[in-house]
Structure formats: C-alpha cells, structure tokens
Amino acid sequence: MAKIFTPVRLRGVVTHGFGRGSKELGIPTANMDKTAVCSVASLSTGNNPALKNGVYYGFASVSGGPVFKAVTSVGWNPQYMNKEKSVEVHILHNFKDDFYGEELRFIFLGYIRDECAFTSVEALIERIHKDIEEGSNSLETMLEFRDDEFFR
C-alpha cells in the first residue's frame, strides 16, 4: 500500500545514466544530475526529516512541457550494486526523442516501497511494472497536482 505525504518538489537536469532502463529493462528512465541527487537528502516530506531511498510516485514535467504521471527510484539500485546514488524518473508517457540536458521537475507525492535486490532481472522488471501500476492508480486521486505552480 502506497504511503501519501506532504508534497516534495525536486528539479534537475537530465543526464546519461547507466543505460539499463530502456535497453535492459525496457523501462526508460530520466536520470537527474548529481546536484539534484545530492539535494534529495535535504528534502523534507513534512512527516519525515528527509526522503529515504526507495520508490515513489508523483508527477513530472520536462522543460515546462505537459505534466505526466511518473514513478521514481531514489537510491543505490542494490540489484546492480551501484557505487553512486541516483534519482531515476520513469515518466508514464512515450516521448518521441531523448531529452538529455533538459530540466526535469518532479513532485514526490507518495512512497511505494524500499529499494531492494531481486532474485533475477525478470523479477525486478515484474516489480517495476507493479510499482508503475500502483503509482498510476494512486495518482488518480491527486490529479490537481498537475496544475501545481511548480510546473509553471
């Protein structure tokens, strides 16, 4: 069950990641730059002192464009034993082109689960699809956040 909390806003520049989202998993992600990643530790949810590592849902916009539902992973990706923390946003929209170097804005609206390693890549993909469904369903009751001033 997803946990809802006070909205938290994050902006950053889209950078190249590890190349696994689209290629290996079939689930493209927009990776936020190191400045955005470092700032996550200081973002407060109102209920918690800072965002913890895990999977979240919210809304995202690229360079002031339309606002879409999104699911975001914050952390170290234990499945791959990353040495760098990342913020990877999966926007629930099919974009025609890449948008590296563009500004990405994301509003964290709820928490889905802790990050963890899985028994296989297939199990990870299955869980990501479940996260996407859970996040999308939860956001149906929060559509007013698409009009948040943060996206203007």
Q: Is 140 exposed, middle or buried (0-12, 13-18, 19+ CB in 10 A)?
A: exposed
Residue 151 neighbours by CB under 8 Å, 6+ apart: 59, 61, 64, 67, 105
Q: Count how many Cα atoms sit within 13 Å of the Cα of residue 142 in the half-sphere of its side chain.
A: 22
Amino acid at 15: T
Q: Where are the beta strands (DSSP E) in the chain?
A: 3-15, 30-32, 54-62, 67-75, 86-91, 103-113
Q: Is 88 an active-site residue?
A: yes
Q: Of 88, 122, 140, 144, which one is the catalytic site residue? A: 88
Active-site amino acid positions: 88
